[in-house]
Amino acid sequence: MRLFFLFSALLFFFSCGSEQKTTLYLNGRIEGDPYLVESKYPGKVVKLMCDEGDSVEKGQPLAELDSKELNARLKEAEAAYRAALSAWKAKEQEVAALERQADSLRERISELTSAVPLQTSSAEKEVEALEGELHALEAQKSSLAATFWKAERDYKRFEALYRRRVISQSRYEQAKVAYENAKASLRAVEGKIEALKSQLAAAREKVKLSRTRWKEVASLKKELASLLERLKAASAEAKGYRHKAASAKAVVERVKAMLSDMVIRSPVNGVVAEKLVEPGEVVAPGRPLFVIYNLNRLYFEGFVPEKEIGLIHLGQRGYVVVDSYPGKRFPVVVTYVATKAEFTPKEVQTKEERVKEVFKVKLRLLENPRHLLKPGMPADCYVYLERK
């Protein structure tokens, strides 16, 4: 049995000696950068959803502040937004209606501007043609009237002669037929002239009407100018209402954001290290309520004696062991080496060690499976030394 213990002691001695040749031993603690969870706004704590030591996820609610006043403000802001939005929409509808009226007027003006000259020209040509036709009929009437007057004189003369038995009845009948034909021809032309005069009057009325339609165009242009002024004013009002609605909506969003901030949430995945508030307390803006550590971003912090500082540099690998999990190694990498020496911190046990000058170093944990390591755990670290 004594030989067994002697063999075990020698094995431990040689193994330690071998470890010391290939690694630099450091003693220290597992640390992490704390996240101070603060309140953005003042308020009374009405509910706590976690306790010290609890694991939390990013975005998880931790506490809730009283939000009755903000809820009332939100209702007022939403009512103001609805009113502003309604006014804006109504004004937009008015603008749209005015734009439709303006488009209709523009179309009407365009139609008249294109049609009136053609109508006027057509009516003027019709008048010219009817006047020429009337002139010809008037000339024909004059000729037929002369023929009629001669035939009428001959008829009366031959009628008197016939009564005195100077001429024969056949000669009298010839004069009578000539008279009746001349009379009928004259009456026919006169009828045509009267009809033509009616057509001419109507054609002249068309010319007059077509010319007066230019006044309608001018009136419509004036109406359009007035309408465009109204449209400009309504558009400006709509723009103002839109800005008011946007401002009212911004107030709603701001109050909603404030309400959201009344629920205090975890900024990271981690563990609650400290709870600094209790239900019923009134907290001020910026006051820390919780301290949380991200267990995925822990590091080992230790101190290297001045005589050994040349053995360690950034990027070196190593591992950490803790008493809680004997035999399990947690890989680390050097991420920080102090450039200035300091005296050993007071938490070191012996006075002799505290008066030594040391350099602080940090080694980031490359993994923390199942979050086994926690901030504050004592740990031993072995840094692999580079072989020369």
Gap between the Cα atoms of 77 and 257, Å rounded? 13
* C-beta separation of 264 from 62 below 8 A: yes
**Residue 87 and residue 74: Cα distance in Å, rounded?**
20
Any idea how long the chain is?
388
Residues 304-326 have a mean pLDDT of 93
pLDDT for 351: 42
The percentage of residues in the chain with a pLDDT greater than 70, rounded to a whole number, is 91
* Strands laid side by side in the 43-48 sheet: 263-265, 61-65, 43-48, 282-283
pLDDT of 14: 40
What per-residue confidence (pLDDT) applies to 245?
A: 94
pLDDT tens digits along 97-118: 999 999 999 998 898 888 877 8
| Cβ atoms of 63 and 49 closer than 8 Å | yes
- How high does pLDDT run on average in the chain? 87
User: Quick one: pLDDT at residue 5?
Assistant: 32
Whether 238 and 86 have beta carbons less than 8 Å apart is answered as: no
Q: Mean pLDDT across the stretch 53-61?
A: 91
The average pLDDT across 198-209 equals: 84
pLDDT average, residue stretch 279-285: 93
- Burial status of residue 327 (CB atoms within 10 A of its CB: 0-12, 13-18, 19 or more): exposed
Report the pLDDT value the prediction gives residue 8, as an integer from 0 to 100.
35
Report the 3 state secondary structure along 284-335: CCCCEEEEEEEEEEEEEEEEEEHHHHHHCCCCCEEEEECCCCCCCCEEEEEE
Q: Sorting pLDDT into bands at 50, 70 and 90, what band is 346?
A: low
| Phi, psi dihedrals of residue 239, rounded to the nearest 5° | -65, -40
pLDDT exceeds 50 at position 3: no
Evaluate whether 59 touches 270 at the Cβ level (below 8 Å). Answer: no
pTM of full prediction above 0.75: no
Does residue 136 register a pLDDT over 50?
Answer: yes
Could you give the CA distance from residue 38 to residue 116 in angstroms, rounded to a whole number?
79
φ, ψ (nearest 5 deg) of residue 387:
-80, 135
Distance CA 251, CA 244 (A): 11
DSSP states of 324-343:
TSTT--EEEEEEEE-SS-EE
CA distance 301 to 317: 14
- pLDDT above 90 covers what percent of the chain? 55
With 90 as the cut, is the pLDDT of residue 337 above it?
yes
Higher pLDDT, 206 or 354: 206
Q: Is the dihedral of CA 310, 311, 317, 322 positive or negative?
A: negative
Residue 353's pLDDT is 53
Which of 8-17, 31-40, 50-59, 267-276 has the least mean pLDDT? Answer: 8-17
Question: Residue 48: what pLDDT?
Answer: 94
Chain segment 234-263, per-residue pLDDT in tens: 999 999 999 999 999 999 999 999 999 999
C-alpha–C-alpha distance, residues 152 and 160, integer Å: 13
Position of tokens 């230790």? Answer: 302
Residues 6+ apart with CB under 8 A from 104: none
